[in-house]
Amino acid sequence: EQAFPLLERALAIYRETTSSPRYEIGETLFLLGINLQARGVAKEAHDRLLECYRLWSELLDFDDEQLHRCARLLGQLAIKHGDANQADKLLTAELTRLQKNDAPNLSEAQRLIPHVADARAKLGRYAEAEEMLQQHVKDLEQQHGTDSPELLSPYSHLAGIKYLQNQFDEAVPLIQYCVDLAEYHFGESHEETAKHLENLAGVLYMQEKFEEAKPLIGRAVEIFKSQLGDHAPEVQAALANYSMLLRRTDQTTEAERVEQELADDTPESHVLDDIL
């Protein structure tokens, strides 16, 4: 957070100076986008990265890795920002480029596959997205084994696609598998575990299993607080979800106490609305 005002000031100075190198303006926009993304401010992060991408597209060679890194981040943020068409176009182009290159880019391509599937699911291309993820799971299992932490991302995204189609009964075992896998590899008090606990609570909430969901969110809140601090975006989102569950179970007093902890700013992402 300390870097943000410095970057904003640098950008303002660059914009006021007509002789400022345009690459440096793009670089500052890129760093601002990353900073905003880390703070959970998806829309502003998307807008800064979009401006950066347009600027660098005019300045840099097509093979410049900075341009492609910006494209990948922009595509992932476009999914959260609601522009699935932009996301699909950017991420598909990046995936194709990475898959054509040699082995050094293989792992980067693999990390991108769940996000491409995510974009296609948001466009309603569910069967295509599921097939892509299922093949990705098979490939990872062959490379790393059936209990590799590399499986967390595709399984989580596959559960998200089931969620988008209201197939909650199919989503639950997928997310439970993610919880178990995260606990096994990272421990019961790791933020990765908390993320999947919150996702599981989100599906249970949609099934109106509020009493089952409530302790999962409560546990996620405590893990996020211990690992990230009380004011992290993940804590704020989990607290908001926890207060919702408390109200649904008529625990108004406790809900009001939890709501007092919430920061003035409201996080953009909401796990109970969208677990992806």
pLDDT category of residue 273 using cuts at 50, 70 and 90: very low
Check pLDDT > 90 for residue 24: no
Q: Are 197 and 176 in contact (CB under 8 A)?
A: no
SS3 150: helix
- What average pLDDT does range 243-265 have in this prediction? 85
Please tell me if the domain spanning 1-123 has the same topology as the one spanning 135-276.
yes
Q: What is the pLDDT of residue 71?
A: 95
- The answer on pLDDT for 272 being more than 60 is no
Mean pLDDT of the chain: 89
- pLDDT band of residue 154 (cuts 50, 70, 90) is very high
> Where does residue 138 rank: exposed (0-12), middle (13-18), buried (19+ CB within 10 A)?
exposed
Residue 274 pLDDT grade (very low, low, confident, very high; cuts 50, 70, 90)? very low
DSSP 32-92: HHHHHHHTT-HHHHHHHHHHHHHHHHHHS-TT-HHHHHHHHHHHHHHHHHT-HHHHHHHHH
Task: Using a cut of 0.75, tell me whether the model's pTM lies above it.
Answer: yes
pLDDT score for 173? 97
- Tell me how far apart the terminal alpha carbons of the chain are, to the nearest angstrom: 25
| Longest alpha-carbon distance in the chain | 61
Cα separation of 223 and 235, whole Å?
A: 9
Q: How far apart are CA 226 and CA 223, in angstroms?
A: 5
Options 1.10.287.3510, 1.10.760.10, 3.40.50.2300, 1.25.40.10; CATH for 135-276 is: 1.25.40.10
Domain definitions of the chain by residue range: 1-123, 135-276
59-104 tens-digit pLDDT: 888 778 899 999 999 999 999 887 999 999 999 999 998 888 755 5
User: For the domain bounded by 1-123, which CATH number is listed?
Assistant: 1.25.40.10
